[in-house]
Structure 1
Amino acid sequence: MSENPTTKRYLSKRLFFIVLKDFITYFVCCLVLVMAIFLVLDLVDDLGDFTGKKIPGLDILTYFVCKQAQNLIPVLPISLLLASMYCIYNYSKHNEIIAMRAMGISVTQACAPFISLALIIASLQFIFTQFLSPYTTEKADRIHQSVKNMKRSINHTIYLEPVKRKWFYNHIPGQPYSDVNLTQNAVSESKGIYHKWNIIAEHAQYDTKKKLWIFQNLQYAEYESYDDFKYNEKKNYVFVKELAKKLPETPTTFQNYRLLNKMKAGIIIPIFQIDQVLKDQIIAQQIGNIHFLKKYYWYHLALPLSCIIAVLLAAPLSFSSQRSGVMLGILQSLVLMVVFICFREFFMTLNQIPPLLAGTVPTLIFLVLGLIGLTKKT
């Protein structure tokens, strides 16, 4: 007596690559379209800073190319979502889904090419953020700042909250700091916040061997109140030299504070730079910085999973033999993707929960929901 033939079929290797080829084509088209939209928005925002100035065309081109490299990080999940929906809609339109189901191919098998490409894109996104993104971000910022200031040096203002010290300086990478204005604030019950002393120097350079700042052509001022001050010429050299030995900040501290501000502005930076900022002792003294940095660290690690979530939301929900079911699935996946993004960003604002949970829970929840939805659909 022969066994009953099973109705379960597997996606053949040939059919797998046919679906994968179609999906890659749609993904590239969606990627170009979404990147074009982001490019137009960047042109509207930043092109005015370049017009009417003698800026080399190569610098303008380099700036907008670097900006698009930054935009690539949020664009990849969006493009995967749109490509998944359009690819499945196109299959439904030509009755390809009915043919697959009639052959006994499960939804999981049919979605295998989509998930495979999503895994590859997620891996590439992680590699990109670790190695290429820091360079493009720094390059774009340097070009934009130099254009706005119309000079090679860039103005920086850094306030070190834990030590109540404010630095203002111009800087060209590889050269000493110029036009340095260093102010030490203090707090008292009678005066409140007031300036304690101030150093104005033509140049400043950090001696890595002696581990101290060297100021050139400086003026030192002591403040008796917030507005009134007196110069003390006798202290200009000896006193400031001794004072410089007590300044714990270094050029690395300035770099770490700029990285911290970038993270707070929503710019993605690589994990090794996050770890570098976490180890900075001055930043560690400020309340809230460590919690934010650890949240951002775990958020960054979970970020590539958004590419997989985009496919898990779009493909199973849209996989229907009826066109009305496909359209309903597309609408549901779009709504769920928006909810996921809002949920993820909301968790990043919470300071009451551990950083690990704040940075990963929303992503893991939607990843599990996507896998459950795929299983139930099958």
Structure 2
Amino acid sequence: MNLLERYLWKSVLSSILITWLSLALLDRFFALLGEFGDVNPETQYGNLQALYYILLGTPRVLYDYFPTATLIGSLLGLGNLAANSELTAMRAAGISIKQIVMMTLKLGLVLVVLVFILGEWVAPHTELSASSFKLRMQQKQLAIGNQGIWVKDGNRILNIAKLWSEKKLEGVSIYEVNPEAGRIDSITHAASAERDNDGWMLYDINRKHIQTDGVTQESLRQEHVSRLIPEQVLAIAAVKPNQLAASELADFIRHQRENDLSSERFEQAFWQHFTTPLSTLVMLIIAAPFVFSFQRNAGSGQRVFIGILIGIVFFLFNRLFASVGIVYGIPPLLAATLPLLVFLAGGLWMLRGLR
């Protein structure tokens, strides 16, 4: 049994990996062609920089494509075994369809853990690094990195540790630069900043005035400023759900709720950190009926077509229901899990008729 299980794993896993890499390479190729349009000889963003930017975005693409790759790859792997009568031999040896499906689901559990690690600790950081790299190479006034967001605005340089939303900042540092003297005139640190109708209110401020004869300090509980950060920078740098890990999303959601701000998009993104890996198992369940029943005599081309069709339907249904959930106030947990549950129910229903 262990020997057959390892053989089944090897066949299915190799097909999944080949499909996964093929989908990612195809996506990255077209993304690179589109990125060449942003290449500008007047900046540091050339062809090599565009290629590096595309490579940094690859972990996110791998994460997004994995459920579809699992479906197509499992259809191909199990389909090849069926075409070579190896599945028939397994069943003749006393191994039921249920046992074969359970073997593939064991493989799926391993893949779920690996995909969760990719989506939680790798993809968000590489995507953030990609955005920061492109902005830096294009010599924009904004850079995003591990030390927060850096903004150049005239003679001021701002560092923002956390840009929670377009109305809430945390850990704001403002450096006033004197270009004529070639030095910094003042450094202002504020624990937080909140936007109102007339500008920004800074809280818990510590300011240092740097002069030729020494440094003076002042502390303020709060201070109102009419202008803090350019509007276009806010639109670019505001927190995006897909750039946050689940733990960061949990902190953001808690902050939004404490301040009576909307958090539905971020709650959906939080639950999708778990439903996306779990959809791997659902894709394996869906693949089985097409191999054992409906597609017993089908060629690999037909199996690929069916896999792509189901993958597209799942992707569109997932995105559509997420948008509908936000518009009509459907609970984020339900909006994130319902597509998964619908496809799971369909796969289990199709498996019922198999013997």
Check whether TM > 0.5: yes
- In the TM superposition, what whole-angstrom CA distance separates every residue of 1:225-250 from its partner, at most 9, and x where no partner exists? xxxxxxxxxxxxxxxx9795358xx9
Contact residue 321 and residue 339 of structure 2 kept, 8 A: yes
Which deviates further from its counterpart, 325-334 or 304-313? 325-334
Q: CA deviation at 1:92?
A: 2.7
Q: How many residues align?
A: 300
Amino acid paired to 1:211 = D
Q: CA deviation at 1:43?
A: 0.6
Amino acid paired to 2:205 = L
In the other structure, the counterpart of 1:270 is 245
2:66 counterpart of 1:76? yes
Contact residue 187 and residue 208 of structure 2 kept, 8 A: yes
2:199 counterpart of 1:206? no
Aligned equivalents of 2:27 and 2:273: distance in 1?
22
Q: CA deviation at 1:323?
A: 0.7
Amino acid paired to 1:337 = G
Aligned equivalents of 2:283 and 2:44: distance in 1?
44
- In the TM superposition, what whole-angstrom CA distance separates every residue of 1:331-367 from its partner, at most 9, and x where no partner exists? 5554443332222222212233222211222212322
Q: 1:257 to 1:306 in 2, by over 3 A?
A: farther
Which deviates further from its counterpart, 56-65 or 304-313? 56-65
2:23 counterpart of 1:30? no
In the other structure, the counterpart of 1:235 is none
Q: CA deviation at 1:207?
A: 3.7
Contact residue 67 and residue 283 of structure 2 kept, 8 A: yes
Which deviates further from its counterpart, 321-330 or 135-144? 321-330
- In the TM superposition, what whole-angstrom CA distance separates every residue of 1:301-336 from its partner, at most 9, and x where no partner exists? 222111112211113322248314988776555444
Aligned residues: CA RMSD: 4.1
Amino acid paired to 1:273 = E
Q: TM-score, normalised by structure 2?
A: 0.69
Q: 1:354 to 1:118 in 2, by over 3 A?
A: same
2:134 counterpart of 1:170? no
Secondary structure of residue in 2 paired with 1:212: strand
Higher gyration radius (CA): 1
Aligned equivalents of 1:260 and 1:299: distance in 2?
20
2:9 counterpart of 1:20? yes
Contact residue 60 and residue 124 of structure 2 kept, 8 A: no
Q: CA deviation at 1:155?
A: 6.9
Secondary structure of residue in 2 paired with 1:118: helix
In the other structure, the counterpart of 1:315 is 288
Secondary structure of residue in 2 paired with 1:206: strand
Amino acid paired to 2:118 = F
Alignment of 1:1-378 (within 5 A): 12-50=1-39, 52=41, 53-54=43-44, 60=50, 62-148=52-138, 150=139, 153-154=141-142, 169-170=151-152, 176-177=157-158, 205-208=188-191, 211-212=204-205, 244-245=222-223, 261-263=239-241, 267=242, 269-280=244-255, 284-286=259-261, 289-320=262-293, 322-324=296-298, 333-349=307-323, 350=325, 351-378=328-355
Aligned equivalents of 1:293 and 1:92: distance in 2?
43
Amino acid paired to 1:274 = L
Secondary structure of residue in 1 paired with 2:189: strand
Contact residue 89 and residue 318 of structure 1 kept, 8 A: yes
- In the TM superposition, what whole-angstrom CA distance separates every residue of 1:194-224 from its partner, at most 9, and x where no partner exists? xxxxxxx76874244972275989xxxxxxx
Secondary structure of residue in 1 paired with 2:263: helix
Contact residue 176 and residue 204 of structure 1 kept, 8 A: no
Q: 1:341 to 1:284 in 2, by over 3 A?
A: farther
Amino acid paired to 2:189 = Y
- In the TM superposition, what whole-angstrom CA distance separates every residue of 1:4-51 from its partner, at most 9, and x where no partner exists? xxxxxxxx2111111111222212211221121011022112234345
Contact residue 11 and residue 77 of structure 2 kept, 8 A: yes
Q: CA deviation at 1:282?
A: 9.1
Q: 1:313 to 1:146 in 2, by over 3 A?
A: same
Q: TM-score, normalised by structure 1?
A: 0.66
Amino acid paired to 1:269 = L
Aligned equivalents of 2:51 and 2:75: distance in 1?
33
Give unmatched runs, 5+ long, in structure 1.
1-11, 157-167, 179-200, 218-240
Q: 1:348 to 1:256 in 2, by over 3 A?
A: farther
Structure that is richer in strand per residue:
2
Q: CA deviation at 1:371?
A: 3.2
Q: 1:74 to 1:42 in 2, by over 3 A?
A: same
In the other structure, the counterpart of 1:161 is none
Which deviates further from its counterpart, 112-121 or 56-65? 56-65
Aligned equivalents of 2:189 and 2:66: distance in 1?
42
Q: 1:155 to 1:206 in 2, by over 3 A?
A: same
